[in-house]
Amino acid sequence: MIVVMKAGASKKDKDEVLKRIKELGYKPHVIHGTTRDVIGAVGDERGKQVLQTLESMAGVESVVPILQPYKLASKEVKKEHSVIAISDTVKIGGNEIIVMAGPCSVESEKQIIETAQAVKDAGAQILRGGAFKPRTSPYSFQGMEEEGLKLLAKAREITGLPVVTEVINPETAELVAEYADILQIGARNAQNFALLKKVGQLGKPVLLKRGMSMTIQEFLMSAEYVMSEGNQKVILCERGIRTFETATRNTLDLSAIPVLKEKTHLPIVADPSHGTGHYHYVAPMAFAAVSAGADGLIIEVHPDPEHASSDGPQSLKPQKFADMMQRMKLVAEAVDRTL
Ligand code: PEP
Ligand code: MN
């Protein structure tokens, strides 16, 4: 349910409503609007009538049900786009297109620092790199783990770029959060509810990737898991879904971008690297994603893709990435965005 407060409601009125929501066994989430606050009361759906009684409290304008199964992620609760601050200067969800770039896996100090410098010079605002890798095969490279996190922190220190890196289980989530600016939840963990709750409690921005067989509604329900723990800083990532097509690694679902824009206030980025699996399809799909309304991109870049420990075939060399970024400026301009 959404409790819509009156424009002139006092702090005392609001505190009383928050207290009552908690007494009734629900979790209140305050969303500050330009003219009034609304409070999302989320919890067991069976008690809707009880919540309706809040309508008689001072300062309350109305109590309305949220029709979508996802609540805090829905446009019903918050109409304006969410802008998520990653650092003092980098914000996702505003007018500027945000590009996260870097290797699939951190492999060495030289590799990550060289790549970080190159993607920064080309205009990327965030560095990506996996330290804990969720590989389909237990025999594939599993990542440098904490050593990799330390190298990412070093690359951030040198370049000033905030870092996004994947967290693969609740046990190591706190460790990853000590180093990362954004916690990435990978496609394979997109419905790992224990992990989603854990990153919800940690409070750091979360880049939530769409699972490979997830509907858009299921995707938003996963976002809801993070948000219902009190962390509203969720960035959605369309990274391709599994279809009958084999010419590409996945099918990048571009139509998910406008659909999500209609259904949620959360920012949306696209991943044309995992979405296509081939470096030469990355730029056209990146342009298409920005044209479709994406707020940002996450792109794999490697100085020596032929020898990459993971995802070499879909990684751009730094020069190709720089060329793509140049052309991207024109695409951004065409859709009234900046880069
Ligand atoms: C990755 O970003 O390297 C990754 C493993 O992506 P996904 O979870 O989308 O497969
Ligand atoms: Mn990868």
What are the tens digits of pLDDT across the range 112-152?
999 999 999 999 999 999 999 999 999 999 999 999 999 99
Instruction: Considering the chain, tell me which residue range(s) the CATH 3.30.70.1140 domain(s) occupy.
Output: 2-64
CB atoms within 10 A of CB 18: 16
Report the topology of domain 2-64: Alpha-Beta Plaits (3.30.70)
Say which residue the tokens 């259904």 belong to: 263
For ligand 1, which residues put their CB under 6 angstroms from it?
104, 130, 134, 186-188, 209, 239, 271, 274
Whole-number Cα distances in Å, 193 to 179, 185, 219, 266, 321: 23, 11, 12, 19, 35
Which stretches in the chain have pLDDT values below 70? none
Under a CB-based contact definition with an 8 Å cutoff, are residues 272 and 251 in contact?
A: no
- The amino acid occupying position 5 is M
Distance from the alpha carbon of residue 192 to the mean position of ligand 2, in angstroms:
19
Question: Which pLDDT value is given to residue 33?
Answer: 77
Q: Mean pLDDT score of the chain, rounded to an integer?
A: 96
| pLDDT at residue 148 in the model | 98
Distance of alpha carbon 73 from the chain centroid: 12
Residues of the chain with CATH 3.20.20.70: 84-334
Cβ(275)–Cβ(239) below 8 Å? yes
- The single residue listed with the structure tokens 């980025």 is 269
Nearest ligand, measured from the Cα of 310: 2
Out of 3.40.190.10, 3.20.20.70, 3.40.50.1000, 3.40.50.300, which CATH number does the structure's domain 84-334 have? 3.20.20.70
**Start-to-end CA span in the chain (Å):** 38
For residue 210, the ligand 1 atom closest to its alpha carbon is 9
CA–centroid distance, residue 187 to ligand 1 (Å)? 6
Output the CA 189–ligand 2 centroid distance in Å: 14
Calculate helix-pair angle for 109-121, 146-159, nearest 10 degrees: 40
Q: What are the residues facing 99 on neighbouring strands?
A: 297
pLDDT the model gives residue 91:
98
| 299/56 Cα distance (integer angstroms) | 52
